[in-house]
């Protein structure tokens, strides 16, 4: 019998609307009001300034090692702007911009990266999961939420974020396969920032893009300029509308660059060149979007100066609140570590908790909630 070719779709698009010179493609420009655009800029700027403040605090010994979001702001924020509060948001650990927009207080991030799990407590009324540091483990959870949405016949969607390193993990493949097979309303958003810590994408995979993997799973896929918040919003909105109407999952590869170390404990000079970093610094999202707003006369210098002062004060108050909480008895009570694994603590853990309480009492340590 002769070999017969199997016809497969090989169509993967790349989307960019606002290029690195802030030149916009008017035919693709999404319909957003001036207030919408100002809101996007405010949360991008808040995230950038909070990230910068956290780095200073880490260098001062006032914050533990953390993963910066510098240069990643457009992805999670543009995507979050395309969904409602009723939809679900499943981050990994560089989605601070989207989470701030969805209602997370700044002090939560300060507490979390200082070792207090209470910082991961989801604010009331927010359909989010907390930060997820174990690589790709959040993706099956996102699909599980999507399946629950289908079972309950709801019109919600799930945004699930992960990095290029996570794209090489088994959990990622399993999640996307299940989502496609079971038609879960999940939008997978890969922050391809070129490096899985020190391993470049070229050493992780042979394929030209991560987006093309969508074809093998039987879902739509697209590669987007991850430093272009307009393109991220437009691509996510299209995927959200499709998922909400029963069209199933989409894979969005957001191409960006990690302008900072992987975490504050990393030294990227050991594995990448200053020339490469300099090239990508010219493409970063905040300055590009700022120029776009100035060109459209939506943002004026006086407004920007006022916004900078407001954000400085907001961050100052968040730092004060976080550091006050971090010194308080409630967060420094070791017995609390038993309280978050189960809805109802089982007898075995209750016994351990009581034993620890008795030990601390003998040592004269002030504890409560035994």
Alpha carbons within 13 angstroms on the beta-carbon side of residue 361 total 9
Query: What b/e readout covers 201-235, taking b as 16+ CB neighbours within 10 angstroms?
Result: beeeeeeebbbbbbbebebbbbbbbbbbbbbbbbb
Helical segments of the chain, H only: 34-59, 73-80, 96-101, 106-112, 138-151, 170-181, 213-217, 229-244, 274-281, 285-295, 301-327, 347-362
Catalytic residue among 72, 258, 283, 288: 258
| Given the residues 262, 283, 288, 292, the one annotated as active site | 262
Structure token digits, residue 327: 């010194």
CB 167 within 8 A of CB 160: no
With contact defined as beta carbons under 8 Å apart, do 70 and 260 qualify? yes
Which residues are CB-contacts of 159 (< 8 A; sequence separation ≥ 6)?
79, 80, 83, 87, 88, 89, 90, 98, 186, 187, 189, 236
- Residue 224's closest CA among 56, 27, 76, 34? 76
- The residues, ordered by sequence, that sit 6+ positions from 259 with a Cβ below 8 Å of its Cβ are 70, 71, 277, 280, 281, 284
Q: For residue 283, with 0-12 CB atoms within 10 Å meaning exposed, 13-18 middle and 19 or more buried, which class applies? A: buried
Instruction: Tell me which residue of 127, 189, 129 sits closest to 156, measured CA to CA.
Output: 127
Q: Per the residue annotation, which of 14, 271, 340, 359 is the catalytic one?
A: 271
Q: Mark whether 271 is an active-site residue.
A: yes
Q: Does 41 participate in catalysis according to the annotation? A: no
Residue with tokens 């209602």: 103
- As a whole number of angstroms, the distance between CA 132 and CA 117 comes to 12
Q: Which active-site residues does the annotation give?
A: 258, 262, 271
């Amino acid at each position: 019998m002769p070999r017969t070719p199997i016809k497969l779709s090989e169509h993967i698009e790349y989307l960019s609307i606002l290029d690195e010179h802030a030149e916009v493609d008017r035919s693709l420009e999404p319909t957003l009001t001036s207030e919408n655009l100002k809101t996007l800029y405010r949360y991008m700027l808040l995230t950038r300034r909070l990230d910068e403040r956290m780095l200073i605090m880490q260098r001062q010994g006032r914050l533990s090692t953390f993963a910066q979001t510098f240069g990643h702001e457009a992805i999670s924020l543009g995507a979050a702007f395309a969904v409602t509060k009723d939809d679900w948001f499943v981050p990994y650990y560089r989605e601070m911009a989207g989470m701030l927009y969805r209602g997370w207080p700044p002090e939560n991030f300060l507490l979390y990266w200082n070792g207090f799990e209470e910082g991961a407590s989801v604010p009331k009324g927010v359909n989010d999961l907390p930060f997820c540091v174990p690589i790709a483990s959040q993706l099956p959870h996102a699909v599980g939420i999507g399946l629950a949405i289908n079972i309950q016949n709801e019109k919600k969607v799930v945004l699930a974020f992960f990095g290029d390193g996570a794209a090489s993990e088994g959990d990622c493949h399993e999640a996307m396969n299940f989502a496609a097979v079971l038609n879960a309303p999940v939008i997978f958003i890969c922050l391809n920032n070129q490096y899985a810590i020190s391993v470049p994408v070229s050493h992780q995979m042979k394929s030209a893009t991560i987006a093309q993997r969508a074809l093998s799973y039987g879902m739509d896929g697209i590669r987007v300029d991850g430093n272009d918040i307009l393109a991220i919003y437009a691509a996510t909105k299209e995927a959200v509308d499709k998922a909400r109407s029963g069209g199933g999952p989409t894979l969005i590869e957001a191409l960006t660059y990690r302008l900072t170390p992987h975490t504050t404990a990393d030294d990227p000079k050991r594995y990448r060149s200053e020339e490469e970093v300099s090239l990508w610094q010219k493409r970063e999202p905040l300055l590009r979007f700022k120029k776009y707003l100035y060109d459209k006369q939506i943002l004026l210098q006086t407004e920007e100066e006022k916004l900078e002062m407001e954000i400085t004060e907001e961050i100052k108050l968040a730092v004060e609140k976080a550091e006050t909480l971090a010194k308080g008895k409630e967060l420094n009570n070791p017995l609390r570590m038993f309280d978050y694994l189960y809805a109802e603590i089982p007898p075995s853990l209750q016994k351990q908790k009581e034993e620890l309480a008795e030990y601390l009492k003998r040592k004269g340590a002030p504890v409560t909630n035994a």
